């Protein structure tokens, strides 16, 4: 069995060190009025530090046995990866009773709020296209453009954050792993959120960058439809989830109907919508060798060609009603 290379073994260095007391004061003692996110490993707070800079402070739940490992992973990884579509880690604090991360503040919050939360219906088609392409570029950087290959393992809509210009940035690297270049997959303990996870990862624990590709495909279907991947009964009691519903529409040549009803799409944009759905479905093919790399996805999304990826094969579905959440707070 190939072992996973952890961030602590990679030689990556951490970012700026902050005083715990300083961050405690900046968040009003981690007050409810400053809290902007909450997840399995902790909470995220808005803070003003360093002469007026607005940041997000993630407070990790140290009662969890893996919190220390995930904290060290996130500090080393986030401090060294720089890309316009990845949330920037500014530093950390280890001198207090809790582990803290200081992150780039993302004023618009997470993508899921715009798809089915309080801001639903406010994203037009152009913004959705830009978000899909931006996430693809961020993943391509993690997989191919950094000096080691990084598999995120938990790509989903609430781990995609938006800035003032709706530029998407991938957050929450606490579940990330570094993968050697000379192997095709590693076997590892399951982490992430079912519904977004690839069959080979759920069934056999096989982890490769194509696991992120699968999750990206599911997330893209959510962005297009405005529906959660775990939503049920789209077209009747026999249609269980978004992924299956998208495949049924595609096989009937009706996948344009997947589009969010809140969108007003001009007729000349419909081919673009259909092509994007087909690329999303291509990303969910099984076995994983049938899925494109994220660099190839970026090329397909940005090429402007009207042709889709060709005939697709309906992949093995996963019962996404079984949801395992293992991650940090849902972002700044």
> Active site residue: 154, 172, 231, 260, which one?
154
Give the pLDDT band (50/70/90) at residue 195: confident
15 vs 22: CA distance, rounded Å: 17
- State the total domains in the chain: 2
In a domain, 210, yes or no: yes
Q: Which residue has the higher pLDDT, 73 or 211?
A: 211
Q: Which residues contact 314 (CB under 8 A, 6 or more apart)?
A: 247, 251
- Output the pTM of the full model: 0.85
Q: Residue 231: its pLDDT value, please? A: 83
pLDDT above 60 (res 180) = no
pLDDT above 50 (res 194) = yes
Residues 62 and 199 in one domain: no
Residues 71 and 150 in one domain: no
| DSSP strand pairing (42-49 vs 100-104) | unpaired
38-47, 91-100, 148-157, 278-287 — which is least confidently predicted?
38-47
Residues 123 and 221 in one domain: yes
Residues 232 and 179 in one domain: yes
Give the pLDDT band (50/70/90) at residue 257: very high
User: Which of 197, 86, 149 is CA-nearest to residue 293?
Assistant: 149
Q: Residue 4: its pLDDT value, please? A: 29
Residues 88 and 160 in one domain: no
Q: Residue 266: its pLDDT value, please? A: 81
In the three-class reduction of DSSP (H, G, I as helix; E, B as strand; rest coil), residue 161 is classed as strand
pLDDT above 90 (res 310) = no
Q: Annotated binding residue at 58?
A: yes
pLDDT above 70 (res 306) = no
Domain range for 18 is: 7-104
Q: Residue 176: its pLDDT value, please? A: 66
In a domain, 124, yes or no: yes
Residues 98 and 157 in one domain: no
Encode pLDDT of 290-300 as tens digits.
999 999 999 99
154 as an active site residue: the answer is yes
Q: Residue 119: its pLDDT value, please? A: 92
pLDDT above 60 (res 92) = yes
What CATH number does residue 123 fall under? 1.10.510.10
Which of 2-16, 213-227, 258-272, 315-329 ranks highest by mean pLDDT?
Answer: 213-227
Residues 160 and 272 in one domain: yes
Residues 170 and 60 in one domain: no
pLDDT above 70 (res 184) = no
- Tell me what the mean pLDDT of segment 266-277 comes to: 88
In the three-class reduction of DSSP (H, G, I as helix; E, B as strand; rest coil), residue 49 is classed as strand
Q: Residue 329: its pLDDT value, please? A: 40
Which letter does DSSP use for residue 323 in this model? -
Residues 99 and 130 in one domain: no
What CATH number does residue 73 fall under? 3.30.200.20
Q: Residue 142: its pLDDT value, please? A: 92
Give the pLDDT band (50/70/90) at residue 241: confident
Peptide bond into 240 cis (omega under 30): no
In a domain, 325, yes or no: no
- 230-261 per-residue burial string, b: 16 or more CB within 10 A, e: under 16: bbeebeeeebbbbbbbbbbbbeeeebeebbbe
Residues 121 and 60 in one domain: no
Residues 198 and 282 in one domain: yes
Residues 149 and 278 in one domain: yes
- Tell me what the mean pLDDT of segment 279-303 comes to: 94
In a domain, 320, yes or no: no
pLDDT above 90 (res 238) = no
Q: Residue 326: its pLDDT value, please? A: 36
Point out the domain boundary residue: 45, 77, 104: 104
Point out the domain boundary residue: 76, 104, 132: 104
Point out the domain boundary residue: 84, 104, 124: 104
Give the pLDDT band (50/70/90) at residue 178: low
């Amino acid at each position: 069995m190939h072992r996973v290379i952890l961030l602590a073994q990679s030689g990556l260095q951490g970012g700026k060190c902050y005083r715990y007391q300083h961050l405690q004061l900046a968040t009003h003692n981690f007050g409810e009025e400053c809290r902007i996110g909450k997840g399995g490993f902790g909470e995220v707070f808005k803070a003003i530090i360093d002469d007026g800079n607005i940041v997000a402070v993630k407070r990790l739940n140290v009662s969890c046995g893996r919190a220390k490992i995930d904290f060290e992973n996130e500090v080393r990884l986030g401090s060294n990866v720089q890309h316009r579509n990845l949330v920037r880690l500014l530093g950390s604090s280890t001198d207090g009773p809790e582990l803290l991360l200081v992150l780039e503040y993302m004023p618009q919050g997470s993508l899921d709020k715009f798809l089915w939360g309080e801001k639903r219906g406010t994203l037009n088609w152009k913004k959705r296209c830009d978000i899909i392409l931006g996430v693809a570029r961020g993943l391509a950087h993690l997989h191919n453009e950094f000096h080691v290959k990084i598999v995120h393992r938990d790509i989903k809509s609430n781990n995609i954050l938006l800035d003032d210009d709706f530029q998407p940035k991938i957050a929450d690297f606490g579940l990330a792993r570094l993968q050697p270049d000379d192997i095709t997959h590693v076997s590892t303990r399951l982490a992430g959120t079912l519904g977004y996870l690839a069959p080979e990862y759920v069934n056999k624990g096989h982890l490769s960058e194509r696991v992120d590709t699968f999750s990206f495909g599911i997330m893209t279907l959510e962005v297009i439809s405005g529906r959660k991947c775990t939503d049920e009964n789209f077209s009747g009691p026999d249609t269980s989830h978004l992924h299956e519903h998208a495949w049924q529409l595609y096989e009937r040549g009706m996948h344009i109907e997947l589009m969010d009803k809140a969108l007003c799409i001009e007729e000349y944009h419909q081919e673009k919508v259909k092509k994007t759905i087909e690329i999303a479905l291509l990303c969910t093919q099984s076995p994983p060798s049938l899925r494109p790399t994220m660099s190839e996805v970026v090329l397909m999304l940005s090429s402007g060609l009207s042709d889709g990826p060709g005939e697709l094969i309906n992949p093995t579905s996963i019962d996404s009603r079984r949801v395992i959440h293992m991650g940090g707070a849902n972002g700044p």
